[in-house]
Structure 1
């Protein structure tokens, strides 16, 4: 799918990542290229260990040892990101139990990025972002252990949103939640994307999740991007690659 340069929000060009040294060095991602337009919701799927979360960590600046290029808004990013980058790009992690500091109130968790980026209106911004993720203002005075899993993930989403980014990187954001709560969080992501004109890149192994939230999906296997499909084509099983057909069949079994 060709995307005009002026509409490109996120792009990887021949992204390759390896871990280890010498004889122990192992290639994890091999020459992966994809492009997201402004407002896209794009999914990377594949079995565990295929390299999809490794790509997300490189995009987020958490892994600086890669080859190839990562571009945001048509500008190549350096491996070590600056503070301005994190105003535009935020990440929501898989495990809401691990991603929040256990000894910090929600208020402190949300205020920290506002201080870091020297933003104003702290009280108003905290109230507004809590409301945006479906929590009332009383939640600012709670600790993570006083929240359910779904509430913790809502706080983690609020933390990502409070600096008003344009891109969210989503690393299996519902896999640690109960099935009933998963649907609520996915619907929240859909609403936030529409209201805030966000661009999403989501990593998951769950076909139901990716087809609910994403319009385009790339299938990965052993560090390589095999093919890209629309969500509708994925639902129909219109895959070209044998591995993709096997993956889809196994997911439906």
Structure 2
């Protein structure tokens, strides 16, 4: 049985106070075996990105437990956590500093985490995402959307993490570029032994990328499925069946 790199037990996130309290993520429990990719899917507002933010440490006000490599994480994350776990955001332009060259974007985590990596390491990471060393001296506005997302992925890889949290990493890109980024992520996972937790509302993307998928509605996980079960429509919940029916053409292409 594969070791779990990540596990959540009863993860619950609430916003507001007293009578105005809203439960956004409710009793979320799942596990991700090392080297695998797990997907959270559901319509906008179902709580999937809230789960990702709690795991990443961007929202430390949660109940329940989050375990990394079998050890429970404290609500306030350590520097070691951020070396092991990195996040790739939805909008690559918003997630990159507009006044910093790619060189600075990639050198900053090396300095902050005292990794002792050389300039050659920056070139190697850029090469791994399909960009040559000349991209070190460009600003985000000089890059296409796909190139910006490749830089964002390179920034995540610079620390040599074990787990990537992917928050709809292709939804802001053109369809043709989406396929390139998804193929890049699949290749990096194989080559580097990475594990992924991916959030998306696009069922074709999730079915293409993930080994196991959790369907969310109203802050809860309704059921967990394999990609084959999704494609075959072999589901238990009516909501999942309706979601699949609305996405049928895309699922058939995945």
2:124 alignment partner, SS class: helix
TM-score by length of 2: 0.96
Aligned pair count reads 249
Aligned to 1:189: 185
Distance in 1, matches of 2:84 and 2:206, equals: 23
Aligned-pair CA distance for 1:252 = 2.3
1:48, CA displacement in angstroms? 0.4
Residue matched to 1:58: 54
Correspondence 1:164 to 2:160: yes
Match of residue 84 from structure 2: 88
Counterpart in the other structure of 1:177: 173
| 2:141 corresponds to 1:145 | yes
RMSD: 0.9
Which structure 1 residue ranges, 4+ long, deviate > 3 Å from structure 2? none
Give the Cα separation in 2 of the matches to 1:109 and 1:241.
Answer: 44
Which structure 2 residues correspond to residues 1-253 of structure 1 after superposition, within 5 A?
A: 7-252=3-248
Equivalence for 2:252: none
Shift of residue 215, structure 1, vs aligned partner: 1.1
Which stretch of the first structure deviates more once superposed, 118-127 or 56-65? 118-127
SS at match of 2:247: helix
When normalised by structure 1's length, the TM-score is 0.97
Any stretches of 5+ residues in structure 2 without a counterpart? 250-254
The answer on whether the counterparts of 1:237 and 1:248 sit within 8 Å (CA) in structure 2 is yes
Distance (Å, rounded) in 2 between the aligned partners of 1:119 and 1:67: 32
Q: Judge conservation of contact 1:87–1:165 (CA < 8 Å) in 2.
A: yes
| Counterpart Cα distance in 2 of 1:249 and 1:19 | 32
SS in 2 for 1:238: coil
TM-superposed deviation, 1:124: 1.1
Q: Give distance in 2, aligned partners of 1:24 and 1:69.
A: 24
User: 2 CA distance for matches of 1:228 and 1:121?
Assistant: 40
